[in-house]
Amino acid sequence: MFKDQEGNYKLKVAFDYDDTLTDDVLFQLAKRLICKGHDVWIMTVRTSNEQYLEHCKRMNLEPKVEGRNEDLLKDAKELGIEEKIIFTDGEDKLEFYQEHQFDLLFDDDADWHTNPICEAGGIGIHL
Ligand SMILES: [Mg+2]
């Protein structure tokens, strides 16, 4: 939580992407939060294109980057948060949640993400 220039409290909020921010209701919520000065991020277990290229290089595979994460990057651009995307590359989100000091995470996965965050004292909203 932080205070804006008017002294109002604002949140640092993360949205999962697949089956969360892809839902129009939640996309509109993210838009609204951004509009009201909250610090909104995308946190996904997807692999970024950079991470993917590194994996390919390490495993000696021919990369196919075309179209990768196109949907996510397009939505992030529409929200104006292209610089606020965390790709956990298959890792669970608790550590990233804590490291980035989020106030809450919206996610459709309870077992893997929101439950461990709640158990650690954070706020994971399962929807
Ligand atoms: Mg999801």
Ligand 1 mean position to 113 CA, how many Å?
9
Answer whether residue 35 shows pLDDT above 90: yes
**Domain of 71, in residue numbers:** 2-126
Per-residue pLDDT at 102: 98
Ligand 1 mean position to 7 CA, how many Å?
34
Ligand 1 mean position to 65 CA, how many Å?
22
The residues near 4 (Cβ < 8 Å, ≥ 6 apart) are 10, 37
Q: φ and ψ at 6, to 5 degrees?
A: -90, 0
Ligand 1 mean position to 18 CA, how many Å?
4
Answer whether residue 54 shows pLDDT above 90: yes
Three state DSSP letters for 12-30: EEEECHHHHHCCHHHHHHH
Answer whether residue 16 shows pLDDT above 90: yes
Per-residue pLDDT at 72: 98
Ligand 1 mean position to 6 CA, how many Å?
34
Q: What is the pTM of this model?
A: 0.94
How many domains does the chain divide into? 1
Per-residue pLDDT at 19: 98
Ligand 1 mean position to 5 CA, how many Å?
33
Per-residue pLDDT at 65: 86
Ligand 1 mean position to 45 CA, how many Å?
8
Q: Output the domain CATH number for residue 62.
A: 3.40.50.620
Range 22-51 average pLDDT: 97
